[in-house]
Amino acid sequence: MIQQIISNSYKNAKKISLNCDSKFVFFSDCHRGDNSYADDFVRNRNIYFHALNNYYTDGYTYIELGDGLELWENRTFDDIFTAHKNIFMLLRKFHLKNRLHMLWGNHDMVLRKAKRVEKMMGNYFDPITGTEKELLKGLKFDEGIILEAEGFEKNILLIHGHQADFFNYVFWKWSRFLVRILWKPLQIMGIKDPTSPAKNFKELLRVERRLKKWIDNNNNQMIIAGHTHRPRFPEPEDLPYFNDGSCVHPRSITGIEIEDMQISLIKWHTISNEDGTLQIIKTVLEGPQDIGSYLN
């Protein structure tokens, strides 16, 4: 069943062109919350905002590979928007330039319904003017995206990755119940959620193994995913399974860039200068590597 779920994601994916002029950046697993003790995004939001602002200025298209919103621990979007308004206003700038694409993951799976997205994120209430204003009106969340690489028969599938995680795809409502009622309160005591592959290494390996099996059974189809929070950047001779990591690493966020048909795994993080000031910088962890070496 897992293999069929991934195949259905590929079959129904939205298509976007990829060529030498394309500039894409992929982040996932932001898990933006309500600024409470359970909001894992809080510690990295300044790094994320700085990185995303740079990508906007540099003309990149932003593709978020799922779990951007923490809608398991939080029942409404309003609290998340209030906590991270500057982030959403920056996403709005991408959206207005038609440079924003969003996938839904298991933690924001309710956003697969277009009416739900429009109701939650189409407008926001401005307390200063006392009126409703547009936010991300017309934005649609997809399950998958295919990057059609110019000059190649093969393409690149973008998914969140929970398609290879039966419990968090088919029984996601049960997982949400456990997180919302049980594991969120236990976070105070440092107890981790065992349903999450990001916090359960054995489950992480199972998810990766299922994704690689699908790639192997489908003519080495290249995949870029998230979900596990573990960055992956294969060698050209290996199965082309990439993972952009997450935005909730300790003191850093990881992502993937594609520019000039070159792919790189990158990290944005802080460093301390000799004068005691903190600086946010980008480090290339892997690559750049020619996209064509994975599509031949």
Q: Looking at this protein, which amino acid is placed at residue 106? A: N
Q: Give the separation between CA 274 and CA 247, rounded to whole angstroms.
A: 27
pTM of the model: 0.91
Domain map of the chain by residue range?
Answer: 2-295
Rounded-to-10 torsion of CA 191, 195, 199, 203: 140
Q: Give the separation between CA 136 and CA 117, rounded to whole angstroms.
A: 9
For residues 65 and 104, the answer to whether their CB atoms sit within 8 Å is no
Helix H or strand E segment including 282: strand 278-290
What is the DSSP pairing of strand 141-142 with strand 144-149?
Answer: unpaired
The pLDDT score that the predictor gives to residue 184 is 58
The pLDDT score that the predictor gives to residue 72 is 86
The pLDDT score that the predictor gives to residue 192 is 57
261 φ, ψ (degrees, to nearest 5):
60, 30
Half-sphere exposure of 258 (CA within 13 A, CB side): 24
For residues 25 and 256, the answer to whether their CB atoms sit within 8 Å is yes
116 φ, ψ (degrees, to nearest 5):
-65, -40
Q: Give the separation between CA 213 and CA 164, rounded to whole angstroms.
A: 10
The pLDDT score that the predictor gives to residue 186 is 55
Rounded-to-10 torsion of CA 243, 248, 254, 258: 70
* pLDDT digit string, tens, across residues 180-228: 666 656 555 555 555 555 567 788 899 999 999 999 999 999 999 999 9
The pLDDT score that the predictor gives to residue 37 is 82
